[in-house]
Amino acid sequence: MTRKSVEYTPQTLAASATISTVSNSRGGPTELQFSLSSLTTDLGPQNNNYLLLAEFLGSSGWTGSNDPFASYTNTALQSDYVDCKCIAGTSPLTISASSPIVDTVCKRRLPSGSFTNYAILIEASASANQDLICYIPEFTIASGMSFNVEFKLIFGDTYPPERISTTTKYTSRFRIQSNTLAFSGQVPNMNSTYVKGFSSSESPNFYASATQIGSSLSSTYTLSGSWNSVTSSLATPYLYINF
């Protein structure tokens, strides 16, 4: 009797998958947002213990020893925790200031052995037909970075390889690929569809350089501008301040 591997009959994990950032600041921290709409299966510790794995695919930027989370993770550990928050709900999921966004266990996994890509294990629970949105802060953008994410389900904290010998990816029966984020050049482009940033009235290059606001935090600095709602209407935007 022969058994056909589920790897060769992949199924779509969700109706769509999107990744975005809240800024396009070179060398500075930003926040990644993952969105999966209309999941086709249950996932997470509260359901079937199949966990969501976000594997970053790309030809430049996030490869080798260039860890975007190096500012607050232990680069000597293959698997280290990263901050993240997630929310699941009926599709289409709408986020507001009162939405029950919860702390979620997430682990950054470094490339290892035949696996050449970074990955993040996201232990969020959601049910079929729901949307899942996750936020991961303190992601450092490098100039020339370009990647997309393949979301897939893996069982527990295991990382099965593709059966095809020519690939270096993790495998799963359920999977879906996101859009591509490309950060090219040195001048921020706040008009990107997948970059939802703050447009300042003081300068066309708000993220171009650091601004001195005084000694010992004794002075004040006023920002005025508008929120770029290209892909969503956010009534309560968050402002990240990196001291």
Confirm if 10 and 172 have CB atoms less than 8 A apart: yes
At 156 the pLDDT is 79
Q: Classify 15 in phi/psi space as left (phi over 0), alpha (psi -120 to 50) or beta.
A: alpha
Per the listing, tokens 């996201």 go with: 122
At 209 the pLDDT is 45
In order along its 243 residues, the chain shows pLDDT tens digits of: 333 444 457 899 999 999 988 776 666 778 889 999 999 999 998 888 899 999 998 755 565 456 788 777 887 888 899 999 999 999 999 887 778 889 999 999 888 777 878 899 999 999 999 999 999 988 887 766 788 999 999 887 777 777 666 667 888 889 999 998 877 654 444 455 555 555 444 333 334 444 555 555 555 556 665 655 544 444 555 565 555
Bridge pairing between strands 11-12 and 174-183: parallel
| pTM metric for this prediction | 0.73
At 166 the pLDDT is 61
Residue 50's CB: how many other CB atoms inside 10 A?
Answer: 19
Q: Which of 53, 234, 25, 17 is nearest to 154 (CA)?
A: 53
DSSP-based three-state secondary structure for 241: coil
- DSSP secondary structure letter of residue 162: P
At 231 the pLDDT is 45
At 225 the pLDDT is 59
Confirm if 102 and 125 have CB atoms less than 8 A apart: no
146's CB contacts (< 8 A; 6+ apart) are 58, 59, 60, 61, 180, 181, 182, 183, 184
Furthest C-alpha separation in the chain: 76
At 208 the pLDDT is 41
Please state, in angstroms and rounded to a whole number, the distance separating the CA atoms of residues 187 and 207. 8
Please state, in angstroms and rounded to a whole number, the distance separating the CA atoms of residues 12 and 31. 26
Please state, in angstroms and rounded to a whole number, the distance separating the CA atoms of residues 140 and 62. 10
